[in-house]
Amino acid sequence: MKCKFDKIKVVMYTVGDFTLIKCKGVTEMRSKKSLFSYLLYLFVCLTVFSGCGESEEEFLLTEENVAAESEQEEAEEESESKSQDESGIVQNIQICVDLCGAVANPGVYFLEEGSRLYEAVEMAGGYTPEAALGVLNQAQVLTDGQQIRVLTQEELQSQPELVGQTESAGSEQPGESDGKVNINTADAQTLMTLNGIGESRAQAILTYREENGLFQSVEQIKEVSGIGDGIFSRIKDEIVIE
């Protein structure tokens, strides 16, 4: 079968993001097979140009997705960091102590809970040359609202009774108050003066205090390893927490 068709001349124009295909000219097609070949060629051209456009669009979308995910990750990291900072602030509990006597700069100082006497003295600029260091326990744990008076050598010699009045400041028997032992500030030697408290139990009390903070009640001492109701009944009238 013979058919006459316009000779197809394919001309492609690119305008911006669009590709235009124009066919022109006249010739004779002698079979359906020739027509099919031209149509197939035209279809391939359309497919190639269409695919390029889609690839570019997919690439742009991928870049946008990556940028969005990156911004989201940065926001999450910033939020987590802020949360950690706020958590750290809440955990840093402070105490207030009044340091006076033979120190360079007497005054009121704020320290973290569990701080020692030597740390407060460092904040105050150190001891003066006249300080009676021999009656101080510089490792004493400080408590909120505590007044610490560092005696001079002259005060110690002329008024030895002051030593008993400044035991809360870390004198020879740290941790004692009105004849009772303060389990929040006493050292191992002072704790061993209690009935039934030997070296191992005294050390257990210090370890518990370091790991869990200050005792909130005298009954809480029963939570210390080795101290049950029996030991507590012996010492309950001899201990205080402030």
Q: Are residues 117 and 181 in the same domain?
A: no
Q: Does 147 or 31 have the greater pLDDT score?
A: 147
Higher pLDDT, 237 or 76: 237
| Same domain for 83 and 147 | no
Same domain, 76 and 50: yes
> What pLDDT score was predicted for residue 14?
57
Percentage of the residues of the chain whose pLDDT score is greater than 70: 57
Q: For residue 147, what pLDDT is reported?
A: 83
Q: What is the pLDDT of residue 171?
A: 41
Do 183 and 242 share a domain, yes or no?
Answer: yes
| Residue 139 banded pLDDT, cuts 50, 70, 90 | confident
Question: What is the span of the domain harbouring residue 139?
Answer: 93-174
Domain final position from 126, 143, 174: 174
Q: What is the pLDDT of residues 37-74, one digit of tens each?
A: 667 766 766 665 555 444 444 445 455 555 666 677 77
Q: How far, in Å, CA of 214 to CA of 92, rounded? A: 14
**Average pLDDT over every residue of 81-85:** 56
Residue 209 lies in a domain: yes
Check residue 84 and give its pLDDT. Answer: 53
Which one of 90, 115, 150 terminates a domain? 90
Domain holding 229: CATH number?
1.10.150.310
155 falls within a domain: yes
* 74-78, 184-188, 191-195: least confident range: 74-78
Residue 63 lies in a domain: yes
Question: Of 54 and 222, which is predicted with more confidence?
Answer: 222
Q: Is residue 2 part of a domain?
A: no
Question: Where does the pLDDT of residue 123 fall: very low under 50, low under 70, confident under 90, or very high at 90 and above?
Answer: very high
Tell whether 193 is covered by a domain: yes
Q: How many domains does the chain have?
A: 3
8-26 per-position pLDDT tens digit:
555 555 555 555 555 554 4
For residues 161 and 135, give the distance between their C-alpha atoms in angstroms, rounded to a whole number. Answer: 13
Query: Does residue 160 sit in the same domain as residue 198?
Result: no
Domain termination residue (choose one: 41, 68, 90): 90
